[in-house]
Amino acid sequence: MNEEEVIQLLRHYRHDWMNELQLIMGYAQMGNIEKVQEKVNQAVEHAALDRKLQSIPLPKTALWIMQFNWEFANFRMTHDVKVNQTITVDDQTVVDQLKQLMTYLVEHSLKMSLYHVTLVLRETDQHQLEILLRLDGEIENERTLIEKLKTMNPSMQVNSKTNQQENHDLDLTWLVK
């Protein structure tokens, strides 16, 4: 990552934090203390998740996740990290798999839809990395997408279902080797 990319990343972070602060200030000016407390708690939780992400021994993966919401216009990600310092996985392999996955998801997404991605990085007892990803939203040509995903990683577990709100969920789980 060069200096300009670092500055761009910091600009995005500053912009997002300023948006949060403006919301909090707006609720405070309206006297809505419950909303102020709720937004402050959400900001603290977000900062704690970012701290966990930034402390994993996979800096390329952490950076890719941090940039996700700015790179993919119609996808929004939340993440959780359950990884210790003992994980034994190639950082570039993780990023390459996540990039390939997103290439497929973008190809099979509806351009005017907003998708929510939940990503969990979890270390197994054998110090391998297990990735759990849930995509909420309608998929075009789902069968073809699943075939591509299986080609990408034959051990990937794919579960597709429609949830209670009539939204489509695609759950993916795989070990990075």
pLDDT of 164 reads 63
| Mean per-residue pLDDT, 105-121 | 95
| pLDDT per position as a tens digit, 123-177 | 998 888 999 999 999 899 989 999 999 999 888 999 988 766 666 789 999 999 7
| Mean per-residue pLDDT, 68-85 | 92
Distance, in Å, from the CA atom of 77 to the CA atom of 65, rounded to the nearest integer, reads 8
At residue 173, φ and ψ (nearest 5 deg) are -140, 135
- Inform me whether the pLDDT recorded for 1 exceeds 90: no
pLDDT band for 86, please (50, 70, 90 cuts): confident
| pLDDT per position as a tens digit, 39-71 | 999 999 989 998 999 999 999 999 999 999 989
Contact between 168 and 162 (Cβ < 8 Å): yes
Distance, in Å, from the CA atom of 16 to the CA atom of 176, rounded to the nearest integer, reads 31
pLDDT of 163 reads 66
- Inform me whether the pLDDT recorded for 12 exceeds 90: no
pLDDT of 6 reads 84
Written as one letter, the residue type at 98 is L
| Mean per-residue pLDDT, 89-108 | 95
Q: Which two tokens stand for residue 23?
A: 């919301």
Which pTM value belongs to this model?
A: 0.85
